[in-house]
Amino acid sequence: MKILWVFAHPERRSLGGSLMTEGLRTLESLGHEHRTSDLYGMGWKAVVDADDFGDAPRDRRLLVGPEQERAYRERSLSEDVRREQEKIEWADTLVFQFPLWWFGPPAILKGWFDRVLVQGFGFGLKGPDGRTLRYGDGGLAGKRALVVTSVGARESGFGPRGIHGQLDQVLFPLLHGTFWYTGMAALPPFVVYGADRLTDTGFAHSAAQLRERLRTLPTTSPLPFHDENGGAYDEDLVLRPELAPGLSGVGVHG
């Protein structure tokens, strides 16, 4: 396999940093190839702005989506963005590792999605019949994506009725709205709970679990989201009544 590991932690000497070391070593021992994007280490620019499109005229209104698509097609996106897109094209599996801040990825990683997965590359493609390729299809179809995250809280707080919200639903914008939207199969997230209070034994346990998750990376069943063009949704993009009957909310989609 070819794995791109995107790491978004300001401190390489952290629990997260140690876990990444462990993870990359495991991938090597399994005979997989890997490349990394250490966003803090690279000094990654987090913010979409006109500098991403070097040749865009500054005197007219910036329309982000169309401008991203134009610059992508003309190969005039800034070089750091193009380099990440090239890594994504190379990879069959993407790992996103980050501490959960405000129940989502740190800004530097959010900015990686904002800047890299541009219209025309990550989404906005059309099939031969003119249908938009999205949710299970699209620019990144066929790839798999895994979240590796750490949280301070205990596991019960992220359970089905835990106060912080059921974790896979808290991560819905990422798992369904980003991975699946661009065509990538979203694997069940790997989570280290109680990360602020992890003992050496606890770390060893987490590292062993991560090794197992990486060993089974090609065979783990992804979250069972519905294909947009597979008949699950009606023409208003509403889930058909025979699926998850009587239920509503983000949980109905997989």
Q: Rounded to the nearest whole angstrom, what is the least distance from the CB of residue 211 to a copy of itself in the complex? A: 24
Beta bridge partners of 101: 104
Site for a copy of itself in 179-198 (CB under 8 A): 196
String of contacts with a copy of itself for each residue 117-156, x by CB under 8 A: x-----------------x----------------xxx-x
Which tokens hold the place of 235? 């023409």
How many Å apart are CA 135 and CA 180, to the nearest integer? Answer: 5
Among 20, 22, 85, 110, binds a copy of itself (CB under 8 A): 110
132 or 215: CB nearest a copy of itself: 132
Among 172, 189, 190, 217, binds a copy of itself (CB under 8 A): 172
59 touches 112 (CB < 8 A): no
DSSP 3-state of 33: strand
Kindly report the CA angle at 224 between 178 and 88, in degrees rounded to 5?
35
Binding piece for a copy of itself, criterion CB under 8 A, among 74-82, 85-93, 205-213, 228-236: 228-236
Angle between the 200-215 and 15-29 helix axes, to the nearest 10 degrees? 40
Which tokens hold the place of 61? 């209104």
DSSP secondary structure code for residue 166 in this structure: -
String of contacts with a copy of itself for each residue 19-48, x by CB under 8 A: ---------------------x-----xxx
What's the Cα-to-Cα distance from 36 to each of 20, 42, 104, 139, 231, rounded to whole Å? 10, 10, 21, 21, 37
Total residues contacting a copy of itself by CB under 8 A comes to: 66
Q: Which residues bind a copy of itself (CB under 8 A)?
A: 10-11, 13-14, 40, 46-50, 61-65, 99, 101-108, 110-111, 113-114, 117, 135, 152-154, 156-157, 159-166, 169-170, 172-174, 176-178, 196, 228, 233, 236-239, 244, 247-253
